[in-house]
Amino acid sequence: MCGIVGYIGNQQAQPILLDGLKRLEYRGYDSAGIAVLRDGKISVRKCAGRIDQLRKLTDEKPLGGTVGIGHTRWATHGEPTDLNAHPHTDVKGDIAIVHNGIIENHVALRRHLEGQGCVFISQTDTEVAAHLIHTLYRGDMMAALRETIRTLSGSYALAVLNENEPDVLYCVRLGSPLVVGIGQGEMFLASDIPAILPHTRDVLILEDREIAVLRRDGVRVFDDLGNEKTPAPLHVSWDAAAAEKGGFAHFMLKEIYEQPEAVAKTLSAYVGADGFQPMLPGAPDRVEFIACGTAYHAGMAGAEYFAHLAGTESTAHIASEYRYRILFPRENQVVVAISQSGETADTLAALRKAREMGAHTAALTNTLGSTLDRTVEKSLLTYAGPEIAVASTKAYITQVETLLLMAMDLGLRNGSLTSDRVQALLSGLRELPEKMEAILQNRDFLQQYCDRHLHERLMFFIGRGMDYSLAMEAALKLKEISYLPCEAYAAGELKHGAIALISDDTPVIAICTQEALLEKTLSNLRETKARGAETICVCPQRFAQQASREADIVWPVPDADEMLLPLLVMLPMQLLAYSMAVAQGRDVDKPRNLAKSVTVE
Ligand code: F6R
């Protein structure tokens, strides 16, 4: 989705803005631009395409000045063209803005502003906001922005330059994230923390309907009635290097290799010498997970953990469905929203619905200070560090791990688990990073497999129970970055229709981590082999011999407790997706049509 950066200080703004935009590239975009204010004059450079194209423009015609804003646009209203790229200006060009989000009443506003003589040159909803602010400005920018908040509906994060106030950078948010980075004699602005990490780790997270006024020597924050607020800055523990590739060909590969460390960090954040840190409060008799995409798959695994380890009824819901579903509230229930970014629009809307029906709410997010983190009764973090690749890997693994810990904690408290069982699981978890390293050290066989299977028509992932959730995640990883059509199926469901798709050019991968279901899943695999499929089984070493009787190929992972195996078998699946995408020459970190953080419905 779109990204915003801003700068006010004593350095040249252009290189800082371009560098910030580069760091936001991972969010997905199709055009980019910057505006810089110098000697009371705003100048804009913008174009469709990548930051490198924008750089060419600014190399040819550099923008001098120490105050500026920048944007990467992911088209929603109007095609990705030079004209539709941000920043947008008003008729006279004395106000320039960049915008994330969607202005829902833009059609009516556009008509109204055209009636007042405004001439529109783009198809965007954003240009409406530029003209609106200009018409509302009568020498008092704060008043104009307060009125803008009252007029616009939808979601937005806006950064605004005004030629009449050359030493100020204004911004305002509603439903779209914005953070202010606090420097020495300079201030930074961004929609996402990684963009400002090289400059500062002290940030102010803006709340909805807040207006921030950035000057070189500080930032002041006001509510929409003009009352000044004194929000406390947060210190971010991530450093800039954590958001860089560090010698890996892609962020995704780096993030896959960071998983052993992320698992160890998450474990030590929640389990100390004297037991569990507080996790889910109380003893709910129903736990519901709401999430999208990969986070939903983590929720499916979480539901299995809560049933197995805490004896608690638990279901995972796709957030975009949950928000429109008829719900049957129960008194003692908790709804847990899972989201790496903590800003996914559907997840936040589903959470609002859960709250309205009176459920207790909790969050599992990787992003401290995100909207999700700040709006629930109990927020739990994953300690994956910044995840830059669009395809989620380490965030997913740490989500699954934290859900396992939550279920263990509840199981111990409600008597479903003995402390011996919990101790055995914890020592298994402590051994996990080493086992993960072992898997990561040996990935050549996947490369060979991908080279041979580059042109498959369709691929299947199957599993039962917990393994079905893993199959769903494995298939999503493969399709989103390699674009190879693939299906995830509950193994027993194949023969009810989809088996018609199986032939000798549809490899089938079975994920088998649970002993009780092993024979069943293998027999489903056998059925696909009988129809010509090449069959693969991903399982712990101890099942390998049995699996090799049915599968053409076995990809074993080190043995571990059944409850811990999901954290191991997903690694070869992530590597398979990665290798396949590389072999296909795909843009691994920025797959087509996708954005890292989906802040629109
Ligand atoms: C896939 C992926 C997406 C996200 C989904 C939710 O690799 O990353 O499916 O999981 O868009 O995003 P968050 O977790 O930020 O709510």
249: its two tokens: 């060909």
Between 360 and 236, the more confident residue is 360
Nearest residue (by CA) to ligand 1, atom 10, is 294
Domain-embedded: residue 249:
no
Highest mean pLDDT among 276-285, 309-318, 363-372: 309-318
- Mean of the pLDDT values across residues 10-17? 97
* Last residue in a domain, options 180, 210, 243: 243
Q: Is the peptide bond before 231 cis (omega within 30 degrees of 0)?
A: no
Longest dimension (CA), the chain: 80
Question: Which residue lies with its CA nearest to atom 3 of ligand 1?
Answer: 293
Is 599 inside a domain boundary? no
Q: How high is the pLDDT of residue 83?
A: 87
Work out the average pLDDT over 557-581.
97
Banded pLDDT at 142 (limits 50, 70, 90): very high
Whole-number pLDDT of residue 472: 98
CB-CB contact of 245 with 203 (8 Å): no
Q: In whole angstroms, what is the distance from residue 132 CA to residue 140 CA?
A: 14
Residue 592 lies in a domain: no
Per-residue pLDDT tens over the stretch 377-393:
999 999 999 898 999 99
If you measure from the C-alpha of residue 574 to the centroid of ligand 1, how many angstroms do you get, rounded to a whole number? Answer: 15
Q: Is residue 455 part of a domain?
A: yes
Residues 74 and 219 in one domain: yes
Residue at which a domain ends, from 381, 409, 437: 437
Average pLDDT, the chain: 93
Q: What is the 434 CA–ligand 1 centroid distance (Å)? A: 27
Cα 399 to middle of ligand 1, angstroms: 12
Q: Which residue puts its alpha carbon closest to atom 9 of ligand 1? A: 293
Are 318 and 431 within one domain?
A: yes
pLDDT band at 416 (very low <50, low <70, confident <90, very high): very high
| 518 and 372 both lie in a single domain | no
Q: By the 8 A CB rule, do 530 and 502 touch?
A: no
What pLDDT is recorded for position 365? 97
State residue 7 phi and psi, 5-degree precision: -150, 140
228-229 vs 234-235, strand pairing mode: unpaired
316-337 average pLDDT score? 91
Ligand 1 atom showing the smallest separation from residue 295 Cα? 10
Q: Tell me, yes or no, whether 48 and 179 share the same domain.
A: yes
Separation of CA 114 and ligand 1 centre (Å): 39
Does one domain contain both 223 and 318?
no
Residue closest by Cα to atom 13 of ligand 1: 339
Half-sphere exposure of 242 (CA within 13 A, CB side): 19
Spatial separation of the C-alpha atoms in residues 24 and 33, rounded to whole Å: 13
Q: Which of 250, 252, 292, 390, when mutated, tests ligand 1's pocket best, judged by the most ligand atoms within 8 Å of its CB?
A: 292
Q: Are 33 and 61 in contact (CB under 8 A)?
A: no
**Number of structural domains the chain divides into:** 3
Query: Is 527 within a domain?
Result: yes
What is the CA(592)–ligand 1 centre distance, in A?
A: 15
Amino acid (1-letter code) at residue 138: R
> What pLDDT sits at residue 222?
95
Give the pLDDT confidence of 76-118 residue by residue, as tens digits: 777 888 888 999 998 888 999 999 988 889 999 999 999 988 8
Report the distance separating Cα 570 and Cα 564, nearest Å: 11
CA distance 243 to 73: 21
* Residue 365 CB less than 6 A away from ligand 1: no
Q: Are strands 333-339 and 360-365 parallel, antiparallel or unpaired?
A: parallel
Domain that holds residue 10: 3-243
- Same domain for 42 and 93, yes or no, is yes
258 lines ligand 1 (CB under 6 A): no
Q: State the SS3 of 178-202.
A: CEEEECCCCEEEECCHHHCCCCCCE
**Once rounded to an integer, what is the mean pLDDT over residues 160-170?**
96
Ligand 1 pocket member 366 (CB < 6 A): no
Residue 595 lies in a domain: no
Does residue 69 register a pLDDT over 90? yes
Phi-psi category of residue 157: left, alpha or beta, with phi > 0 → left and psi -120 to 50 → alpha: beta
Final residue belonging to a domain, choices 243, 271, 293: 243
Query: Are residues 504 and 522 in contact, defined by beta-carbon separation less than 8 angstroms?
Result: no
Kindly give the number of the ligand 1 atom that is closest to the alpha carbon of 396: 10
CATH code for the domain of 355: 3.40.50.10490
Ligand 1: nearest atom to the Cα of 391: 7
Contact assessment for residue 87 and residue 13, using Cβ atoms and an 8 Å cutoff: no
Q: Name the one residue in this structure whose structure tokens are 């101890």.
A: 542
Q: Ligand 1 in contact with 597 (CB < 6 A)?
A: yes
User: pLDDT value at position 61?
Assistant: 95
At residue 600, the pLDDT reads 67
Same domain, 403 and 449: no
Share of the chain above pLDDT 90, in %: 75
Cα of 577 from ligand 1 centre, angstroms: 16
pLDDT digits (tens, 9 = 90+) for 194-229: 899 899 999 999 989 999 999 999 999 999 999 999
Say which CATH number the domain at 202 has: 3.60.20.10
344 lines ligand 1 (CB under 6 A): yes
599 has a pLDDT exceeding 80:
no
Specify whether the CB–CB gap between 203 and 182 falls below 8 A: yes
State which of 193, 252, 294 you would mutate to test the pocket of ligand 1, scoring each by most atoms of that ligand within 8 A of its C-beta. Answer: 294
Q: How far apart are CA 584 and CA 578, in angstroms?
A: 10
Tell me whether residue 596 is in a domain: no
Indicate the pairing of strand 553-557 with strand 535-540. parallel
Paired tokens of 300: 């499916």
- Annotated active-site residue in 46, 394, 435, 596: 596
72 and 214 both lie in a single domain = yes
268: which residues sit within 8 A by CB, 6+ positions away?
A: none
- Whether 118 sits among the annotated catalytic residues: the reply is no
Q: Are residues 397 and 454 in the same domain?
A: no
Cβ–ligand 1 distance for 84 under 6 Å, the answer no
Task: Evaluate: CB of 339 within 6 angstroms of ligand 1.
Answer: yes
Q: Does residue 411 sit in the same domain as residue 452?
A: no
Instruction: Tell me how far the alpha carbon of residue 60 lies from the centroid of ligand 1, in angstroms.
Output: 38
- pTM for the model stands at 0.82
Q: How far is the CA of 111 from the centre of ligand 1 (A)?
A: 37
| Mean pLDDT of all residues in 538-545 | 97
Q: How many whole angstroms separate alpha carbon 449 and alpha carbon 488?
A: 19
More confident residue, 505 or 304: 304
Residues near 443 by Cβ (< 8 Å), separated by ≥ 6?
Answer: 572, 575, 579
| Bridge partner residues of 333 (DSSP) | 286
138 and 102 in a common domain:
yes
Q: What is the pLDDT of residues 437-494, one digit of tens each?
A: 999 998 888 888 888 887 778 999 999 999 999 999 999 999 999 999 999 999 999 9
Domain shared by 143 and 122, yes or no: yes
Atom of ligand 1 lying closest to residue 365 CA:
14
594 domain residue, yes or no:
no
Q: Is-catalytic flag, 2?
A: yes
